């Protein structure tokens, strides 16, 4: 692995586009609160609002990755607080399976992840955004992203 490929500039350049699915309740609520509080995060984060993270399946995740997204995150409500009872838990199980799949295909398993956030605390979603970026960085360094695999 050459030095330039792990340098900060290289990584910054590689992180262009992270699709974050946020649920209608705590997910987007938290991002909203973060916005109102003028918190800062990387502009690579792009939010898609869905009803519940339980609505997101392998189709949506692979569509995002196949069409230019570098990483995908699902942000839902805290465990036990899902507006629809267990959507966030279902999503968690699906993401786990996706990770296993990517691992078996030879990719890193770090560029998809499930998170929770709290609508009144903007820092929870910002923390989630920073975490997916960290994980994507790990995937890039280990040359395990989808783009690397092509």
Partner 1 sequence: MTVKEEKVKPTEEIKEKTVSQDSKDEEPRIGVFICHCGHNIAGTVDVAKVAEYAGALPNVVKAEHYMFMCSKPGVQMVKDSIKELGVNRTVVASCSKNQHGRTFARAIAEEGINKHRHQQVNIREYCSWVHKKDEEKATAKSLRLVEAGVNRARKLDDVETRRVTTTKAALVIGGGIAGLRSAHDMAELGIPVFLVEKNSTIGGHMTRLNKTFPTLECPQCSISPLTNGVANHPLIELYTNAQVKSVEGSLGNFEIEIEIKPRYVKDNCTSCGECSLHCPVEVPSEWDKGMSMRNAIYKAYPQAIPATFVRDKKACIECNTCINICPVQAIDFSMQPETKTVKVGSIIVAAGFSEYDPTEIEPYHYGQEGYEDVITQLKLERMLSPTSLTNSEVLRPSDGKLPKSVVIIQCVGSRNDQVGNQYCTGVCCKFAIKNARIVKEMYPDTDVTICYIDIRTPGLNFEELYKSAQEVGVRFIRGRPSEIIKDPISGELTVIVEDTLSMTPLQLSADLVVLSAAMVPPEGIGPLGSKLHVLRSKEGFLKEFHIKMNPTLSSKGGIFLAGTIQGPKDISETVAHAGSAAALAAAPLVKGYIEKEMLVPTIDYELCVNCGICKTICAPAAIDIDENGRPIVNEIACKSCGMCMPSCPTSAIQLINFTDDQLYDEIIAVSGGGAVCE
Closest CA to 39 of 118, 129, 115, 112: 129
Comparison of 69 and 136: residue with beta carbon closer to partner 1: 69
Comparison of 3 and 148: residue with beta carbon closer to partner 1: 148
Comparison of 109 and 146: residue with beta carbon closer to partner 1: 146
**41 belongs to the binding site for partner 1 (CB under 8 A):** yes
Rg (CA), the chain: 15
Closest CA to 135 of 117, 116, 108: 108
**58 belongs to the binding site for partner 1 (CB under 8 A):** yes
Residues that bind partner 1 (CB under 8 A): 16-17, 19, 28-29, 31-32, 34-36, 38-41, 43, 46-52, 54-60, 63-69, 81, 83-87, 90, 94, 146-147, 150
């Amino acid at each position: 692995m050459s030095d330039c490929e792990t340098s900060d500039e290289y990584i910054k350049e590689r992180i262009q586009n992270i699709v974050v699915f946020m649920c209608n309740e705590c997910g987007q609520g938290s991002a909203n609160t973060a916005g109102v509080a003028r918190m800062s995060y990387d502009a690579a984060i792009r939010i898609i609002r869905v009803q519940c993270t339980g609505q997101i399946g392998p189709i949506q995740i692979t569509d995002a990755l196949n069409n230019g997204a570098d990483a995908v995150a699902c942000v839902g409500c805290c465990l036990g607080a899902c507006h629809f009872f267990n959507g966030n838990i279902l999503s968690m199980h699906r993401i786990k399976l996706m990770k296993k799949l990517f691992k078996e295909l030879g990719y890193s398993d770090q560029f998809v992840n499930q998170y929770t956030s709290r609508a009144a605390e903007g820092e929870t979603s910002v923390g989630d955004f920073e975490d997916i970026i960290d994980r994507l960085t790990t995937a890039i360094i280990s040359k395990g992203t989808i783009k690397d695999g092509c």
